[in-house]
Structure 1
Amino acid sequence: MSKEITTSQNIVRYNGQSFIEEEDDIAVESALTIMVNGEEFATMVCTPSELEELVVGFLASEGMIRAFQDIKALHIDVETGFAYVDLVNPNKVEKDFHSKRFIGSCCGKGRQFYFQNDVKTAKTIMTRFTITPEQCHKLMKQMQDGSSHFQQTGGVHNAALCSSDGVVISRSDIGRHNALDKLFGYCLIHRVPIKDKIIAFSGRISSEVLLKAAKIGVGIILSKSAPTNLAINLADELGITAVGFIRGKGFNVYTHQDRIQGLEYKPVQTSCI
């Protein structure tokens, strides 16, 4: 059983000349509380879809599990908004975590534990997998065209796990970090090989988004938007190729340019006057 991910709302739309009353599709925002070994671990605000993937990916991202097999039991009560998780190692929560957490839907605000376990869980990426500029544009377009949820509501972020041939799996959520956790959970549950995969992402590449990509283990992240300076620093340090502003015919490559075929990177020369 799953909740509806959209709802209808009567609105008044202005079309530039007049006001029109009509019905509009709105993205649903729902709370999910994760109970781990009987203890309240986190409450997140999310789109109520692919919740098993979300829980698994979130726990892996926070260092609670390394593989899907580390979970002894997982039950999600959609109606009450609770996920009940039993870990194989029952001492993990008590040993490593000391406070309840609330994860909002907006870019990490309200996350009391930011960077707490990133050193343990972020991977340095060593893959030599490369893609062409044409593939960068193709994958971004496939990710955007395939998001019916965004096209219906305009209120969600999209993330897609891709191979060089196309989108493997795509997920949407009101929280961009949630969309990435759903991808991570999918990979763990289905044991998807990561070394030749790419993430296409609809939003800006923040430090949190970059760290999520590192924890998943991909070497290339594509976005139609911009990265932050901290994200660029982390991408450089963790060996990830960050590509932003994929719009029209162009894009910007910020780090590890050697994974983009045909790009002969030369540092910008400055002249002294």
Structure 2
Amino acid sequence: MQLAQNEDVAGYVIAPDPNAPRLTRSVVGHDQTGAGVVTSVVEERPLTIFLNSQEVVTAMTIGDYPDYLALGFLRNQGMLKAEDVVTGIDYDEELETVIVRTAVATDHEEKLKKKTRTSGCAVGTVFGDMMEGLEGVNLPAVSVRTSWLYALSARINRTPSLYLEAGAIHGTVLCQGDRPLVYMEDVGRHNAVDKIAGWMMAEGVGAEDKILYTTGRLTSEMVIKTAMMGIPVLASRSGFTAWGVEIAQQVGLTLIGRMRGQRFVCLSGEDRLVRDADPAAVADEPRKSGRKGAKT
């Protein structure tokens, strides 16, 4: 599988390419004064995921990295296990389908016949299956330097992206220390996370020393997916839900939200933070500033 579309001078992978014409479309409209404007909007198209011959879900997605999305979705839903051997991933752009093939039929294919669904906000989840997947999860208690958090926040917010180009999209970044590794975006935050999970599976990348950064809310489902991926730290510019915090505390996930400029809030794993940076020395960000404002 191809890793990504481009790589910046710092050596980390950036995906998708914000200049890829198939991911955005120019639309003519009018602004508040009535003047004509041309603006970029993000493409949205269906992708139906199959596990062997069984249809699993139809997701609304921007259309890039269908192999990573399918693989990561099945992994995060517990439909693919470590012992399942993936023999191939077949993508048909015309039919808008992707088929993940395994050496033998999986235990989940009969269950899937009763769970096929369509989601307009990304892929979504089979929540009960995900909760079962948390049994036995034992995340490593890794230290997190606050200098990493400040560096990641500043760097990611200025990374060329579809969000900066067109908005209406979520981003997720896999990081190691203060270094972003892979950046994925999609119309739904679950899709973006699943692409990261699929990339990690395809490339054999370990999770034990990684940080997952997302622009989306830190909900129960986002916490569960991160824990099932084996990633010990989840961070976001956005806020929390109570159940997300509760599950993070149960599984030992370090959970950090509202990361903006000098500020962040840690609601799980405070004892694992190493405060090696003075917040006063960090460039602040206006409280009401969005990611797009960080471009300048």
Short-chain TM bin: 0.7 to 0.9
Distance 1:218 1:131 in 2: 13
TM-score when scaled to structure 2? 0.80
Tell me the alpha carbon deviations over residues 193-237 of structure 1, each in whole angstroms, 9 at most, x when there is no partner: 111100111111111111111111111111111010010001001
Distance 1:123 1:158 in 2: 29
Distance 2:218 2:98 in 1: 29
1:111-130 matches, within 5 Å, as: 113-120=126-133, 124-130=137-143
Q: Is the 8 A contact 1:147 1:172 kept in 2?
A: no
Tell me the alpha carbon deviations over residues 84-138 of structure 1, each in whole angstroms, 9 at most, x when there is no partner: 2222231434343332122332694xx5x32234312576343132122221121
Q: Is the 8 A contact 1:67 1:188 kept in 2?
A: no
1:101 aligns with 2:114: no
Q: Give 1:4's match in structure 2, choosing from 3, 22, 30.
A: 22
Q: Is the 8 A contact 1:10 1:24 kept in 2?
A: yes
**How many residue pairs align between the two structures?**
256
Q: Is the 8 A contact 1:73 1:86 kept in 2?
A: yes
Fraction of identical pairs, as percent: 24
The SS at the match of 1:128 is coil
The SS at the match of 1:92 is coil
Q: CA RMSD in A?
A: 2.1
Unaligned runs of 5+ in 2: 1-19, 277-296
1:13-162 matches, within 5 Å, as: 13-14=31-32, 18-67=33-82, 70-99=85-114, 100-105=116-121, 108=124, 113-120=126-133, 124-162=137-175
The structural deviation recorded for 1:173 is 0.4
Distance 2:40 2:227 in 1: 34
Distance 1:143 1:118 in 2: 30
Q: Is the 8 A contact 2:212 2:231 kept in 1?
A: yes
Q: Which moves more between the two structures, 116-125 or 95-104? A: 116-125
TM-score when scaled to structure 1? 0.87
The SS at the match of 2:69 is helix
Distance 1:123 1:152 in 2: 42
Distance 2:196 2:175 in 1: 11
Measured at CA, do residues 121 and 147 of structure 1 come closer, stay the same or move farther in structure 2, by a change above 3 Å?
farther
Distance 1:136 1:191 in 2: 25
Partner of 2:190: 177
Q: Is the 8 A contact 1:63 1:121 kept in 2?
A: no
Partner of 1:216: 229
The structural deviation recorded for 1:76 is 0.4
Please identify runs of 4+ aligned residues in structure 1 that moved more than 3 A: 93-96
Q: Which moves more between the two structures, 139-148 or 153-162? A: 139-148
The structural deviation recorded for 1:64 is 1.7
